[in-house]
Amino acid sequence: MLLNGWPDGSSGRVEIFKNGELGTVCDDGWDDDDARVVCREQGYDGGYAEWGGAFGPGYDWQRIWMHRVKCRGNESRLADCPMHETTWGQHACSHWEDAGVTCFKCPNCPAEGAPRLMGNRTATTRVNTTRGARPSWAAGRVAVWHNLNWGTACGDWWHRIDSDVFCRSSGYQAGCVIDPRTMSATTVDCYGDEPNLARCERNSWGYHDCTHAQDVHVKCMNFQNGTARLVDGFPNQQVRGTSATGRLEVLHNDIFYSFCPNNFTNREARAACRSMGWAEGRTATNTLEFQPPLGVPQFPRVFNCSGRENSLSACPLRAGAVPVCPLGRRSYVQLWCFKSNVARGKTAYGSTIYRPTVSPDNLYTFGPEKAVDGVSTGLGSVYHSTDAGAIEPRPWLAVDLGSNFYINRFVLYNRADW
């Protein structure tokens, strides 16, 4: 209940009934999330936190029931919110620290935490999604509705997952920061499964050391189902136009899925990388700047690629196979995608010097007795593809040499000629 506030009952000192006694709440850590729960419990739409005994202290004989309340803002009752001290009545406060609230009604206002792109630009091109034709992208400054106001978000600690959460709550499938200058929401840290920014870990509303020069600007995007992407790879492992690393995600029914490692071989990696415009690909480890976020589901089926497909969707499914992620989301597949004449680790990839005389898509293999620059420790394949979207023209050659070294040249014997 609210005491000693405005005559209409919309504000006052917060008191809670426990064990037959009315007691107060200490204002240590008290914020708008706590106030919103109290005000909704009183029949209002939202509210502001008040501190320092703003509506007068409670009586000396009254208990201070709650201390360091930590509501998320979506609880039905104040009593349902967690506390730093889990024992009711345990505190280090005086009644001059009694918490209060000021509540309001606004039935036609946006929902608490509602997103908005301010000053946005929207694409004229549209993408077919499960929700119909949608703009392919929109860009603008991040804004969030809180307590009758639109406020911006400070860019401190902002990362890709925060952009994804914001853009998904705005009706898009993914997002990224587009402005390096990247205030009602402050330091935001999303885990990935939140419905909006208001549910992410953050400072209390309005607490920050930012200026509007640090406001976050994002680009929200929609894609065709089947689109693949690499995410969260270390920045120093990304070489523009040459190679890219990260965790594989593929859009299915407007949701980005990751893949379990069982039965996901370099053949599947090659098909996934080709669908993103790269010539080659392989599975990888230790490429991620941080672990996969919460809420990214595993793809429910297992592919069985031959190695010549240009996308995962062109691969048949492995009959009866069930995806297995032994470490949960930490097991999700990571890839290294690259142009074809790059060599690294166990696998070296040749270029386009050999122009086969066979028809496209015929596959030839040569055994380890066939030397490549004097090395005869590997098995390779030569094949020709007509992939129009590839980075470099076909044909190309792939050889698994089975050892850690780099090579510069492939020499092939074909029709009595080197």
CATH superfamily, with its number, for domain 115-221: SRCR-like domain (3.10.250.10)
- Same topology for domains 2-104 and 228-338, yes or no? yes
Does pLDDT of 4 surpass 50? yes
Question: What global pTM score does this model have?
Answer: 0.65
pLDDT, one tens digit per residue, over 22-47 is 899 998 889 888 999 999 999 999 89
C-alpha torsion angle, residues 325, 221, 184, 5 (rounded to 10): -80
Q: In CATH terms, is domain 2-104 a member of 3.90.25.10?
A: no
Does pLDDT of 163 surpass 80? yes
Tokens at 109, concatenated: 């206002």
Calpha distance 109→104 (Å, rounded): 11
Mean pLDDT of 238-246: 89
Calpha distance 189→186 (Å, rounded): 10
Tokens at 22, concatenated: 């009315």
CATH superfamily, with its number, for domain 228-338: SRCR-like domain (3.10.250.10)
pLDDT, one tens digit per residue, over 335-394 is 999 886 433 333 333 333 333 333 333 333 333 333 333 333 333 333 333 344 433 333
Pairing of the two strands 217-221 and 137-146? antiparallel
Calpha distance 333→330 (Å, rounded): 9
Break the chain into its structural domains and give their ranges: 2-104, 115-221, 228-338, 341-418
